[in-house]
């Protein structure tokens, strides 16, 4: 058992940001404040379209950065729900995306994993990721913080995942990739990372041809799995 | 007015299949029969994931044909709703995808547009499209019936839209592309087609950077628009 796990030989851990380290549903409270009773639905459509637009723009070869895509998704969500999204309202909602809460166990997990080089690989634009990490008081924890913006395309394109081995100087097979987004874990596994799916909400795995190496309910569970494999 | 419209110079009409000519919600009745009261939700998740998987597989560079993607999406939808999808049940649901009803006005509209070369450009696999057209009694109406399968990637990749000018021998600017799927019209417009969005259900337009040249509520409305431009 120990030897089998040792073969993983993981030399660095790379984390997805939105939904994995930071709770995208944090925006619900701002949504609810501005649009009582419709906050949950607004935030759900907003998030779904945000992802959809990253895929569609990538396929169309019409990349725009994640701030623009997030704003466009918000405009769609407001229109779909017949909500008037004035500039000041739109600004407040967008601002919320810069201050998402880390999930409760994130600090403890990162501390326990600090013997590994830790990095972020996210769709977020560099400015958004900087704000997010600073707002959570996690400066210096992730080196490097890698944005899909450098590839000019979004996950799950292999061109995005390729940024991690390139920046870290570590072979793709020795990188452990951690994400709560099932499509992202599929993409990372397809690319050749060792993968961990953080399934906090008991979601259904996406059928796109791959399986995660391990599945955990929360990030702290990963520390035990990796300890066993040392 | 007439002269401006004349400049469109549309020489052929190319139709999306699923959701545009053929009603994907036709499967609801079979879904309801097999899983009473959950048919609508099942068919909605099924359709949403079917599209999502085409985008994700395209971006991952892991193309599988539309039959496989549709089956995978069905497996996901059943799992997500805790429905037991035995092989015979799965087969019946998949079979329904080969016999979708055309929308009520489709025959009349196609008849009125028959002075144009008419084609289909769809994500569907060649076998699926053949079955669909035959089942609706529309053999010979569309020449050619073009499948994204030939490009080995899905819409809205420009490589798919490129198949139409290539097969028709007509410049992309002289092709009118008709779809009910907002993302598809965005992709087609980005590629360079003249585009018509058939918005039967008063859906919200997707914010991916483009607008349709015309929007109609039903396919028969397109005939008047094109008559004016002759």
Tens of pLDDT, residue by residue over A57-71, are 999 999 999 999 999
pLDDT reported for residue A7:
38
pLDDT band at A144 (very low <50, low <70, confident <90, very high): very high
A68 and A180 within one domain: no
A184 and A120 within one domain: yes
Q: Does A57 touch chain B (CB under 8 A)?
A: yes
pLDDT reported for residue A37:
87
B111 and B70 within one domain: no
Q: What does the H/E/C string look like for B88-102?
A: HHHHHHHHHCCCCCE
Chain A residue with Cα closest to B73 = A207
B217 and B193 within one domain: yes
Does B60 contact A206 at a Cβ distance shorter than 8 Å? no
Q: Domain range for residue B108?
A: 12-21+103-229
The C-alpha of A153 sits at a distance from chain B's nearest C-alpha, in angstroms, of 9
pLDDT reported for residue A168:
98
Residue B221, in any domain of the structure: yes
Provide CB contacts within 8 A for A229, sequence distance 6+. Answer: A2, A5, A6, A8, A10
pLDDT reported for residue B227:
79
Catalytically active residues of A are: 16
Range from A123-127, A223-227, B93-97 that averages highest in pLDDT = A123-127
- What gap in Å lies between CA A97 and CA A128, rounded to an integer? 8
CA-angle at A49, arms to B156 and A123, nearest 5°: 85
A181 and A116 within one domain: yes
- What gap in Å lies between CA A81 and CA A76, rounded to an integer? 9
Provide CB contacts within 8 A for B174, sequence distance 6+. Answer: B9, B10, B11, B12, B194
* Last residue within a domain, chosen from B69, B96, B123: B96
Is B16 in the active site?
A: yes
pLDDT band at A8 (very low <50, low <70, confident <90, very high): low
CA-angle at B214, arms to B213 and B215, nearest 5°: 135
Q: Which of B16, B23, B149, B184 is catalytic?
A: B16
Q: Does A179 touch chain B (CB under 8 A)?
A: no
Does A204 contact B80 at a Cβ distance shorter than 8 Å? yes
Is residue A3 within a helix (H) or strand (E), and if so which, with residue range?
helix A2-6
Residue B6, in any domain of the structure: no
Q: How many other CB atoms are found less than 10 A from the CB of residue A229?
A: 19
The C-alpha of B14 sits at a distance from chain A's nearest C-alpha, in angstroms, of 19
- What gap in Å lies between CA B175 and CA B195, rounded to an integer? 8
- What gap in Å lies between CA B123 and CA B150, rounded to an integer? 10
Residue B205, phi-psi category: left (phi > 0), alpha (psi -120 to 50), beta (remainder): beta
- B45-80 burial, b at 16+ Cβ within 10 Å, e below that, comes to bbbebbbbbbbbbbbbebbbbbbebbbbbbbbbbeb
Q: Does B229 touch chain A (CB under 8 A)?
A: no
* A26 φ, ψ (degrees, to nearest 5): -55, -25
pLDDT reported for residue A26:
83
- What gap in Å lies between CA B225 and CA A167, rounded to an integer? 54
Residue B208, in any domain of the structure: yes
For residue B32, give the CATH number of its domain: 1.10.150.240
pLDDT 10s per residue in chain B (230 long)? Answer: 333 333 369 999 999 999 999 998 888 888 998 998 899 999 999 999 999 999 999 999 999 999 999 999 999 999 999 998 888 889 999 999 999 999 999 999 999 999 999 999 999 999 999 999 999 999 999 999 999 999 999 999 999 999 999 999 999 999 999 999 999 999 999 999 999 999 999 999 999 999 999 999 999 999 889 875 54
Does B156 contact A183 at a Cβ distance shorter than 8 Å? no
Instruction: Select the more confidently predicted residue: A4 or A186.
Output: A186
- What gap in Å lies between CA B105 and CA A229, rounded to an integer? 63
Q: Does B206 touch chain A (CB under 8 A)?
A: yes
Does A60 contact B190 at a Cβ distance shorter than 8 Å? yes
Question: For chain B, how many structural domains are there in total?
Answer: 2
Q: What is the mean pLDDT of residues A76-81?
A: 96
B123 and B204 within one domain: yes
ipTM of the complex, rounded to two decimals: 0.94
A206 and A157 within one domain: yes
pLDDT band at A85 (very low <50, low <70, confident <90, very high): confident
Residue B207, in any domain of the structure: yes
Does B156 contact A60 at a Cβ distance shorter than 8 Å? yes
Residue A124 has pLDDT above 70, yes or no: yes
pLDDT band at A229 (very low <50, low <70, confident <90, very high): low
- pLDDT tens per residue across span A13-57: 999 999 999 998 888 888 998 998 899 999 999 999 999 999 999
């Amino acid at each position: 058992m120990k030897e089998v796990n040792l073969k993983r030989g993981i030399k660095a851990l790379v984390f997805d940001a939105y939904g994995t380290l930071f709770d995208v549903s944090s925006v619900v409270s701002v949504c609810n404040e501005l649009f009582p009773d419709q906050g949950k639905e607004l935030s759900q459509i907003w998030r779904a379209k945000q992802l959809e637009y990253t895929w569609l723009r990538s396929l169309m070869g019409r990349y725009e950065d994640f701030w623009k895509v997030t704003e466009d998704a918000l405009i769609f969500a407001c229109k779909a729900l017949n909500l008037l999204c004035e500039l000041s309202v739109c600004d407040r909602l967008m601002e919320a995306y810069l201050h998402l809460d880390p999930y409760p166990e994130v600090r403890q997990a990162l501390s326990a994993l600090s013997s590994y080089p830790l990095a972020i690989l996210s769709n977020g634009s560099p400015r958004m990721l900087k704000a997010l990490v600073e707002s959570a008081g996690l400066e210096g924890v992730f080196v490097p913080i890698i944005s899909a913006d450098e590839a000019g395309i979004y996950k799950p394109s292999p061109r995005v995942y390729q940024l991690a081995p390139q920046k870290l100087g570590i072979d793709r097979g020795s990188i452990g990739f951690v994400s709560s987004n099932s499509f992202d874990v599929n993409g990372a596994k397809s690319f050749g990372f060792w993968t961990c799916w953080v399934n906090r909400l008991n979601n259904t795995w996406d059928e796109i041809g791959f399986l995660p190496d391990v599945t955990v309910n929360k990030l702290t569970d990963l520390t035990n799995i990796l300890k066993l494999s040392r």
